[in-house]
Chain A
Amino acid sequence: MSDRPLIQLTLAWIRGFYREPEAIFWVFGFPIVLAFALGIAFKNRGPGELHVGVLRGRWDSSAVLVVDASPALSASILDTAVALNQLRTGRIALLVIPGNPIVYRYDSTRTESRLARLEVDDALQRAGGRADAAMTRDDRVTEPGSRYIDFLIPGLLGMNLMGSGLWGVGFSVVQARTKGLLKRFLATPMRKSEYLFSYMLSRLLFLVIEVGALVGFGWWVFHVGVHGTIAALAVCTVVGAFSFAGIGLLVASRAKTVEAVSGLMNLVMLPMWILSGVFFSYARFPEAMQPFVRALPLTALNDALRGVMVDGASLTGIATPLAVVVGWGATSFLVAVKIFRWR
C-alpha cells in the first residue's frame, strides 16, 4: 500500500463512505429503483384504452357495441347520476348521449377527452356508413432511443453524479470540521491542496461503480443502449463527477454544522432537479428562462450525457455543454480553496 498522503486521504474517504450502508443505498440503489419504477410506469405509454360512458336510454346497447369494437376504446352503459359523477372525476373521458343528434359531453381542456371524442365519433360515423376519402396506413414507432426510458436514464445519471458529488464531499468535509478533524490535520505537515484534491479523487472510484450500475441496469432491463462511444461517456461522467465534487467543496467550504450544509445542498440541488431536464425536457420552460436553465451545471451535464447516449454524439459535438460543466467545477474548486474554513 502506498504511503503517499493523497492516496491515504482518498482511501480514508472511500472507506468512510462504503462502510456507511445507508450511503450505499442512496448512491447506488436509489437511482436503480427510480429508473425501474419510472421505466415500468411509462413503459409503452400511449393513450392506452380510453373509458367512455354511454347514457342509458334508446339505442344505448348498439352504441356500446360500436364504440367497444374500436381497440382504443372501452364503453359501458351508465345512469345519469353515475355518468356525470364519473365524467367529473375523470373515470370516463367522454359521455355519449345517443339520439339525433348524438351528443358528446366532455371537458375540452382534457387531452384524453378530446382524443376520446375523435375516436368515438370516428367509430360511430363509420358504423353509420361514412367512407374514408383517402387511403391511410399507420407506421408505429417503438425504436430504442425514442422512448421515455431512453430520455430518463441519462438524466438520472446526471442527477446521481450531482447528488453523490455534493453529498459525498460536502457531508464528509463538514463532519470533519465539526469533529475537529480538520484542525487536527492542520497540526500536521499535510498539504491543504492534497486534502481538498483527495475528495475529488475519491469520487473517481465510486464513479465507475455508480455509472456502471445505472447504465448496466438500463441496458439489461430496458435495452437502453449507449449510441456514442464508451470513451466519450467516460469523459462526460468523469468531468461531471469532478465538477460536482468541486461544487460540493464550495458548498461545504464555510458551513459549521451538518444541518447548515444539508440545507445549502438542498438549496443548490432542488432547482436543478426541476429545471435541468432530469425527468422531462427543459424545453417546456418559457423561452425567457432558457439561457438561465442552460447555464446550470446539471442541464449542461444532462445535455452532454444525452448527446452521447441517445444521439451518439462525439466529444466535439458536446464540447459546449462540457465546457459549461468544467467551468462550474473549476471555478467552484478555486473559490472553495480560497474561502475554505479549516476550523
Chain B
Amino acid sequence: MTAWEDSRRPRIVKVDGDFPAERLRKIWEGGPGLAGWISSVDHKEIGKRYIVTAFVFLILGGVEAMVMRWQLGGPDQRLLSPEQYDQLFTIHGVTMIFLYSSPILTGFSNFLWPLLFGSRDMAFPRLNALSYWIYLASGLFIYAGFVTGNGANDGWFNYVPYASKAYDPGINIDVYALGLILLGISTTVGSANFVVTFLRTRAPGMSINRVPILTWGTLSASVSNLLAVPSVSLAFFLLWLDRQFGTQFFTASQGQPLVWQHLFWMFGHPWVYAIVLPAMGMVSDALPTFCRRPLVGYTPVALATVATMALGMGVWVHHMFATGLPSLALSFFAGASLIITIPSAVAVFAWTATIWTGRPVIRTAFLFFASMIVLFVIGGVSGVMTASTPVDWQLTQTYFLVAHIHYVLIGINVFPVVGAIYYWFPKMTGRLLNEPLGYWNFWTMFIGFNLGFFPMHIVGMMGMPRRIYTYGAQMGWGPMNLVISLGALLFAIGVMLLVINIAISLKRGAIAGPNPWSAPTLEWSIPSPPPPYNFAVIPTIESRHPLWEDWLNESPARSRLTEGLLLDRGRETLATSPLDAEPNLVLEMPADSFAPFVLTCGLTGAFIAALFHIWWVVGVGLLIVIAALVDWFWPRRVHADMTASQQGAADG
C-alpha cells in the first residue's frame, strides 16, 4: 500500500493531436550543436552512444583476434613477437569482456528501459550521462596504453605475482589497474541507476510481475555488479599499491598471491552472468513476438534470472580448481556450479516451448534468437564439464576453455545482441534493416562461428594450452588451427555484413512505423524514433502485453496508452511504488548538464596523473571533480523555465 505523497495532483488528459506533445517537445528537446551533444542527459542518446561505442570496441577486439588467428593458423608462425602476442590476447580479453559485452547491454537497457516502463528517462539522468562518459574515458585510457606499446600483458585476469612489479616492471599493468578502477566507477553508478529506475519509475499498473524479462536480467546484473565490482576495484587498487608503494598484499614473501584470484573471481564469475542475463532477457522478450504468443513460463523465467545471479555469487572457486584447495571445498564448488545449470535449463525449455506452442515468423532477428538457444546449450554443457573438478583439471587452461568462453560470450551475448539490433534498430532510427542481407549476415556468422570455435573444443582436448604464442608442428595442432582461423575469418565477414547492412539501411531502409513487428510492449506504442519526451501522457498498464490485449483478451481491463497523467510543468516523470507500481510522486527531472562531462574530464586527468605520479595534477583533477559535484548538487529551481502564470494555471 502506497499513498500518493505529492502535494500536487496532476490532471488526467487524453492525447489530442499536438496536445500535449508540442509543449513537451519544447521542454525535453536537447540543445543544439556540440554543446547540446555533450550536455545531453537523454537516455535514448546515451543508450545509442553506449551501443555505438561498445560496437566499435567489438570491431577492435575482432581485429585483434584475427591477428592472433593469423599467428596461430599454423605451427611456428613468426608474425608476432611473444610480447606482442601477450599484449594482444590481453587487450582482446579486456576489450571483449569489459569494453564490449557489458556496455552494449547497458546501451540497450539505457535506450529501452524508460520506453518499456512507460517513463520519460532513467531515475538519475545525469548519473546516466556520467556512467557513459567514464566508460568512454576508461576505454580510451586502456587503449592509450595498448597503442603506445604499454598495454597490459598478463591476460585479463592478471594473476599475481607475474603482474607484480618484480616481473612486469613497465607501466603496462598500472594502466590496466587504474583503467579498471575507473571503469568500475562507471559500472557502479550505472548499476545503482538501473536498480532505482526499476523500482521506482514503472508506469502505473506495471506491477513487478508485468515487467519485461530484459529488465529482470539487467536488474539482476546490476545488483550483482553492486556487490561484485567493489571486489575487483579493491583488488586492482591493492595491486597498484603493491606495485607503486611497496605494500605486500599479494607478494609471496609477506602477502598471499592466491588472494588475488579469490578477489578477482568473486567479481569475475558474477560478471559472466551479468553479461549474459540481460541478453537472455532480450531473447525472452523478442523471441515470443516472432512466435506470436507470450513467453511460456514468465514467472519461472523471471525467477530463474534472479536465481542464476544469486547462485552465480557462489561459484567463483571453479576458476581455481587447480590451485591446491582442499577436495571438500572443491566438491562444494563443483556442486554449486552444476546446480546453476537448473535455472539456465528453465530458460532453454521456456524458449523451445515458446517456439513449439507458437507460430514462428522467420525474420533475421528470429534466426539470431532461435540459434542462440543451441549455442547457449553448447556453452552450457561445456560449462557442466568444466564444473566437474577432476575433468576440469584436464580441461582448464586449454583451448577447450577458450571454446567454452566464446560459446558463452558470443553465443549468449553477441548473437542476441545482433538479433536485438535487427529487432530494435527500427525503434532507434525509424528504419528497418534489410532482410535479405540479414539472412546472409546470419548464416555467415552462424557457420563461421561454429567452424571457428567448435574445433577449439577438440584441439583443447588434444592438449593445446591457451595463451601460447606459438606451437611446434610435432604437437599435431596445426590442421585444426587452420580450420579455426578460416572459421574466424568467415565469422568476421559476417560481422562486416552487419556493418554494411546498418550503413545502407540508415539512409535507405524501409520506413518502420511505430510497431513493425506488431510487438506487445510499450516501446512499440510510440513513434519510431521516439520523441524526446517518450510518452505524451504517462500510460496505465493492465497486463504484461499492453499492445496484445485485444488479441489475448485475458481480462476485460485494457491498458490506457493515450489517456493518462499530464506531466508538463518542466521535465517531469512519475514515481510509483516498488512492487505494485502505484503512482505516488511527480519526479522533477534535471535539465541538460555539463557536470557529468566535466567531472569525467577531471577524474580521468587525475587517473592519468596518478599513473605517472604527478601528484599536483591529481589534486587539480580532483578539484575539478569537486567543482562539478558542487554544480551538480547546487539547489536550483528545476522548472525555472516556466512563467509564473503557467505555474498558476497548472496549479489550478
**A and B pair up:** no
**Chain B interface residues toward A at CB < 8 A:** none
**Chain A interface residues toward B at CB < 8 A:** none
